[in-house]
Structure 1
Amino acid sequence: MNNTLNNTFARPLIGVTGSSGKTSTILMLNSILEQCCKNPAMLESWKGPASFTKLVKNNTTGSRPLLAEVPVEALRQRQVKGEIFQCAALTNLTVDHLPACGTQERYHELKSEFFHQLPPSAKAVLNADDPRALTLAGDGGLDTITFALHYPNAMIVANNIRIQNFSSVFELSVNTDIPTFSNRVISPQTAKVHLTMLGEQNIYNALLAATLALLLDVDLESIARALGRFPGIRRNMEIISVDKALVLDDGARNPAAIRAALAGAKLLGKRRTLVLHGIYGKGGQTINRCNARELAHWLQQSPGSQLIVTRSMYHTKHKYQVRVSEEKTFLTELKESKTEAAYFPDLPDAVESILYHACEEDLILLLGGPVLDRAREIILQSIGENRTSLTLVPSGLGGIRTYSNLQPLAGNPT
């Protein structure tokens, strides 16, 4: 990292890091600030050290807030250091990014180093529901602010969470005095939020975005109104269709994200959930084993629900294609846990199967990373062409059954 970048700028530089939710948090925060005329500069996804350096150097004067995603790969390669940030925020810590870090311990170590590099009196915003997250601030004199959904003593919390018309409604509460970047004090108060997104993970992201907006002197009522106008994010508990069966699409690719999406789906109260899961291409064997274990546990606790799996052989970009070792590890874990599932190597066949098995009272949940990026397109096309084809058939797929294309596709559309 260029040594000419230091922490002397008048504007706050905020780095958001964590296992998942980084981009969503920054997009929510950017939306809040734009609606409140704060004119932020944003680097919502990591595009390399050159883009980050440009973001900072182009905003060395004035009070324009700078928002940057800080992925573990950038920390591992020493492309960015905590010493130039006025604030670091952590979404969560879970099992992910193992191909880059090698072990979960190394992953945690890199995150910890980032927080320990922050200058004295910098702000650290941490998820109090994650015990591992609270260890990152250490005793280095950081101004630590905590947020939570379940830990009542956190400084900023979401209470009385409920689902209403496919939206998350909750009370956003500040529990104690909190100093902002300008040293103004935010006193305890509460505002009602109507977030047009589903899932506990999105409430966490909204809560973190709201916390950071408060530190930038946005009042709580304005934050609540801005979150209510946030349109949502593609492949983030996105509602694809309500034609007969309800179809949701979520890009979860680690166990915690999968668990959160399934928990959010359960709150919708559907008779059963049919999950189409895309194996995590380039995620490694360990993460895919953990993902399979998470899905197996869910299926055991959800009688009548079904699991369909794909690697999307012909509808995935090369850099996201599933390795044979990842496929084998995932399916072996399901087999060893005696989990019933159907496996389709190609995505259109998997979509056809899940639509065939669905009925009006079901929820179809598309669950997985880039392997499922084209599932939305395929499922909407199929629903459009066969609007009466969603009919109930007997459940129980009888172990892991593997299905192949009857006819080869003409090349890779991606």
Structure 2
Amino acid sequence: MKLNILLEHIEKKVSDIIQHIDIEGISTNSSSIHPNDLFVAIPGYRVDGHNFIEHALEAGASAIVGEKDLKGLSVPYIQVSNSRLALAKIACQFYGNPSEKKSIIGITGTNGKTTTSFMLKYILEASGRSCSLFGTVMNTVNGQASPSINTTPDALELQKQLAMSKDEFIIMEVSSHGLSQYRVAGVEFDYCLFTNLDHDHLDYHRDMEEYFSVKASLFNQLKPNGKAIINHYNSWGRELTDYLTSKGYKMYILGDESHHDLRIDKFKSDVSTLIFEKNQGFELNLKMLGEHNILNASMAFLTARKIGLPSNKIIQALEMFPGVPGRFEMLQHPNGATIVIDYAHTADALYHCLRMAREQGANRIFHIFGFRGNRDVEKRRGMVNVSKEISDVSILTLDDLNEVPYDEMVRALYELDQEAYVIPDRTLAIKMVLERVNEGDWVFITGKGAEAYQQKFQLPTASDKETVQYLFSSN
């Protein structure tokens, strides 16, 4: 593709004539540059791509895009104000703006993105529609699954995968990091979902208002006839509705008032849920327990209805939905205790998980959880408070250290709560609890979900589920 065509939609300063330069590929990694490629220099958090421009030139790059005011390069240099945004627009142009040709569903919010996306995929596929999925647990394109590195892939990889997809629908979890780093810039959405907002990522965003503003920016990328699906059971959803109303967007509301498009009549985990689409009621029996999963299912239901699927088919699919790896994944202890592995990592998410066990009549609730190093420390106290309020026993343990020294992270756990058990080795914390529980007890292991451990623990296991299964098999 001609370089001048690639650059049509970006504001730029150009150091040379570019009309006749052919670009055969794009990369942000100088080690993967081939002759006639375009190298985009991204100023990262640990590494600055501008420092690798010479390496890219040696590898045969035909042109360079970057933010710094550079002169004297042997190839055209295109200076932009934001390399990440420029990359997204260039990638979109290079791959032919694939989102125009697909039905794209974007899901944002603090909690529930993954479960809602898996539910929607299951509903659509049960109705004979093919789906690609991009999210925290995995990416799936044309029926082929691959591990996920980020909740939202980088802009170049995302546009490439969208162009490769032959699926009718694309379902995408959209994180606040993905939005603020322009990973989805240029993607046009047919449906945008807002699940909720809770205290999270305030190590990255200045405050909740900024966090909300970034999440809300997704809806600016709706297609002209695009639809917004919003959860009003969360106060930030109501604030989003006010914001979108001022912009004239078409909205569909999950809420508790009769005029809302969908409302939930019962929020009990142990009985059928009644959901009302206007005045028509539907009984729903989910395999996944918890109020939060009722909300996730209702968001999926409302979206599928707006896509045009019949209500009875959606209910059938939801009642058959097998669940998501690491999302309220239930295992049965040989002695009758119930173990739940969940990704919950905010106070609100923990509240819904633990309260559900109380509603189910748990004898005792044991809660094993930790915190990731170099992440939002302000939310930790709220999580501990919720755990102590609902659980009988809270055990603080290590999550990912993320380069924080081991001793520093352990000290932080002790400082959070002088009364809580602290067992730094995550596998030994699980072992201790599983040796003490009885029939009727519930054990929650939260924070990691299906993710692999990043550091070595004493037991030869790589995830929470693997640790539980290893301990079962050892007895």
TM-score tier by shorter-chain length is 0.7 to 0.9
**Structure 1 22/135 Cα, relative in aligned 2: closer, same or farther at 3 Å?**
same
Per-residue deviation at 1:172?
2.8
Does residue 1:196 correspond to 2:284, yes or no? no
Tell me the residue number matched to 2:194.
90
Tell me the residue number matched to 2:274.
171
Cα deviation digits, residues 304-329 of structure 1 (max 9, x gap) = x11112116xxx6x758786555444
Normalised by the size of structure 1, how large is the TM-score? 0.77
- Does the aligned pair in 1 maintain the 2:107–2:174 contact within 8 Å? yes
Tell me the residue number matched to 1:57.
163
Does residue 1:69 correspond to 2:173, yes or no? yes
Tell me the residue number matched to 1:309.
396
**Structure 1 133/322 Cα, relative in aligned 2: closer, same or farther at 3 Å?**
farther
**Which of 214, 226, 238 is the matching residue for 1:134?**
238
Secondary structure at 1:122 match in 2: strand
Tell me the residue number matched to 2:434.
355
Tell me the residue number matched to 2:354.
262
Q: Distance in 1 between matches of 2:101 and 2:365?
A: 50
Per-residue deviation at 1:13?
1.7
**Which of 301, 314, 318 is the matching residue for 1:210?**
301
Does residue 1:252 correspond to 2:344, yes or no? yes
Per-residue deviation at 1:145?
0.7
**Which of 213, 224, 227 is the matching residue for 2:315?**
224
Number of aligned positions between the proteins = 355
Normalised by the size of structure 2, how large is the TM-score? 0.68
**Structure 1 269/189 Cα, relative in aligned 2: closer, same or farther at 3 Å?**
same
Tell me the residue number matched to 1:334.
417
Per-residue deviation at 1:354?
1.0
Amino acid at match of 2:357: A
**Structure 1 352/79 Cα, relative in aligned 2: closer, same or farther at 3 Å?**
closer
Q: Which has the higher contact order (CA 8 A, sep 6+)?
A: 1
- Does the aligned pair in 2 maintain the 1:288–1:330 contact within 8 Å? no
Amino acid at match of 2:360: L
Q: Which moved more, 1:195-204 or 1:102-111?
A: 102-111
**Structure 1 136/161 Cα, relative in aligned 2: closer, same or farther at 3 Å?**
closer
Q: Distance in 2 between matches of 1:144 and 1:170?
A: 24
Q: Which moved more, 1:195-204 or 1:275-284?
A: 275-284
**Structure 1 49/327 Cα, relative in aligned 2: closer, same or farther at 3 Å?**
farther
**Structure 1 127/189 Cα, relative in aligned 2: closer, same or farther at 3 Å?**
same
Tell me the residue number matched to 1:290.
382
Q: Distance in 1 between matches of 2:314 and 2:179?
A: 31
Q: Distance in 1 between matches of 2:205 and 2:327?
A: 26
Cα deviation digits, residues 36-70 of structure 1 (max 9, x gap) = 0122232234222123213443469xx92222111
Tell me the residue number matched to 1:240.
331
Cα deviation digits, residues 165-194 of structure 1 (max 9, x gap) = xxx73123211xxxxxxxxxxxx4232222
- Does the aligned pair in 1 maintain the 2:269–2:290 contact within 8 Å? no
Tell me the residue number matched to 1:144.
251
Q: Equivalent pairs: percent with the same residue? A: 23
Per-residue deviation at 1:131?
1.7
Cα deviation digits, residues 319-348 of structure 1 (max 9, x gap) = 58786555444432323xxxx321111123
Secondary structure at 1:98 match in 2: coil
Secondary structure at 1:125 match in 2: strand
Amino acid at match of 1:298: I
**Which of 371, 374, 377 is the matching residue for 2:463?**
374
Q: Distance in 2 between matches of 1:325 and 1:112?
A: 36
Q: Distance in 2 between matches of 1:309 and 1:356?
A: 17
Amino acid at match of 2:347: P
Tell me the residue number matched to 2:122.
31
Secondary structure at 1:99 match in 2: coil
Secondary structure at 2:468 match in 1: helix
- Does the aligned pair in 1 maintain the 2:254–2:299 contact within 8 Å? yes
Q: Which moved more, 1:25-34 or 1:357-366?
A: 357-366
Q: Distance in 2 between matches of 1:120 and 1:380?
A: 50
Structure 1, unpaired ranges of 5+: 176-187, 300-304, 387-414
**Which of 131, 139, 142 is the matching residue for 1:40?**
131
Q: Distance in 1 between matches of 2:187 and 2:251?
A: 16
Q: Distance in 1 between matches of 2:433 and 2:100?
A: 53
Does residue 1:343 correspond to 2:343, yes or no? no
Per-residue deviation at 1:249?
1.5
Tell me the residue number matched to 2:85.
none
Q: Distance in 2 between matches of 1:243 and 1:66?
A: 40
- Does the aligned pair in 2 maintain the 1:250–1:366 contact within 8 Å? yes
Structure 2, unpaired ranges of 5+: 1-87, 137-151, 454-461
- Does the aligned pair in 1 maintain the 2:98–2:163 contact within 8 Å? no
Per-residue deviation at 1:6?
6.2
Amino acid at match of 1:22: K
Q: Distance in 1 between matches of 2:410 and 2:186?
A: 37
Per-residue deviation at 1:273?
0.8
